[in-house]
Amino acid sequence: MARGKQKEQAREKAQKLAEARSGGKSQLEARAKGLQLKCPVCKTPAANYKVVVQHMEAKHPKEAIPPETAFQTHCEKQDYTVCYVRLLNSTGTKDPSTGVSWCPDCVRADPLIHRCARPDSVLVEVPVGTRSEYKGRPDNPYKTHPRIQLKAIPTLIKWSVTGSDDDKRLVEYECANEDALSELFSE
């Protein structure tokens, strides 16, 4: 048990941490922008077509699954020229016993990405699956996608609407580099 000056210092430190946390920006609006696809039956929001298919197979097995062309991508619908797409292990694949992602690089990079992100940037979190679904699986849809071509996580892609040649990305340890993140978000 802390006494005297230690107790006072601990209280001050906790107060400073609480003040720092309270100044953070909510990502709820960005999340809502990222969930642009909706189940045609129950209107449940989804991040991408694959999630819609999984949802339809699980919740509406008797319904026909609409083709992918029926959905436009998030970036194509917006009137801005750049959106930031962050591909990493997100909430759906956290270890239930600890509440922490299986990817230590993602855990390290996540707070830095949120701190460096501009208020007008759109961060779309895309889960790559559980460890067994991602590691050693060359058929993972994000690894085989012609534009994403995921090599490692976390990956932060500055997705350009003008085409994949203009995309910029940070991979693995680069996502935990504050200077690299600031440069990516300032462009």
List, in order, residues 6 or more apart from 137 with CB less than 8 Å away.
143
**Is 106 an annotated catalytic residue?**
yes
List, in order, residues 6 or more apart from 63 with CB less than 8 Å away.
40, 41, 56
List, in order, residues 6 or more apart from 83 with CB less than 8 Å away.
74, 75, 121, 122, 124, 159, 161
Q: Which of 39, 42, 75, 103 is catalytic?
A: 103
> What distance in Å separates the CA atoms of residue 107 and residue 99, rounded to the nearest whole number?
11
Q: Which of 75, 83, 106, 175 is catalytic?
A: 106
Active site residues: 103, 106
